[in-house]
């Protein structure tokens, strides 16, 4: 099993793992998106968790302070914006480890719940989130591409899953 921990500055090239996972999903990212992800991972307000296994980062999750409908900060909310695992390691429980590590670190920062949005048709992601304590809120939106997305939340105030 990999070591899962809050990222250090040396780990912040986790975007290579992000890129490999996206390519495996058939969503090849362009150079601008790759750079934006690098900026999100380096943001001082970001909570970045990595899974490390030889030869390096095999999974990563990024979260940030949550906002009420994209506006004012909600101090109890932590928004999970990325969870990716190297495709060679899919199905090994690394995604769940990353989510639990995000929950633990977010709770230590004073957050009470996690939220995220994912594609309504992304069955792999939905299975992961449901297995790891997330529940759909009933809120939906559509991306600019027309793809429907759904919101999920997880209460972490008293969350001691493991």
What are the DSSP E strand ranges found in 8-147?
47-53, 56-67, 73-85, 113-119, 135-142
Residue 18 vs residue 108, higher pLDDT: 108
Higher pLDDT among residues 15 and 82, named by residue:
82
User: Residue 162: what pLDDT?
Assistant: 44
Contact (CB, 8 A) for 118 and 149? yes
Task: Tell me the pLDDT tens digit for each residue of 40-85.
Answer: 888 888 999 999 998 788 999 999 999 887 688 998 999 999 999 9
In 3D space, the residue among 23, 116, 103, 12 whose CA is nearest the CA of residue 56 turns out to be 12
Other CB atoms within a 10 A radius of the CB of residue 153 amount to 19
pLDDT in tens, 128-144: 999 999 999 999 999 99
Q: How far is 22 from 128, CA to CA, in rounded Å?
A: 16
- CB atoms < 10 A from the CB of 83, how many? 25
Mean of pLDDT over the chain: 89
| Per-residue pLDDT, 12 | 67
DSSP of 31-56: HHHHHHHHHHHH-TT-EEEEEEETTE
Residue closest to 99 by CA, chosen among 141, 144, 131, 57: 131
Q: Give the span between the Cα atoms of 48 and 83, in whole angstroms.
A: 10
Nearest to 104 by CA among 9, 4, 8, 13: 4
Find the Cα–Cα–Cα–Cα dihedral 8, 11, 15, 16, rounded to 10°: -170
């Amino acid at each position: 099993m990999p070591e899962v921990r809050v990222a250090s500055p040396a780990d912040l090239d986790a975007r290579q793992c992000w890129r490999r996972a996206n390519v495996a999903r058939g969503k090849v990212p362009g150079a601008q998106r790759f750079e934006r992800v690098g900026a999100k991972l380096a943001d001082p307000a970001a909570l970045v968790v990595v899974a490390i296994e030889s030869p390096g980062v095999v999974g990563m999750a990024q979260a940030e302070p949550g906002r009420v409908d994209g506006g004012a900060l909600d101090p109890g909310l932590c928004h999970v914006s990325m969870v990716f695992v190297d495709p060679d390691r899919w199905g090994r429980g690394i995604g769940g480890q990353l989510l639990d590590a995000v929950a633990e670190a977010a709770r230590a920062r004073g957050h009470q719940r996690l939220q995220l949005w994912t594609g309504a048709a992304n069955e792999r992601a939905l299975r992961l989130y449901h297995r790891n304590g997330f529940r759909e809120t009933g809120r939906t939106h559509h991306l600019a591409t027309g793809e429907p997305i759904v919101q999920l939340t997880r209460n972490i105030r008293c969350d001691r899953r493991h």
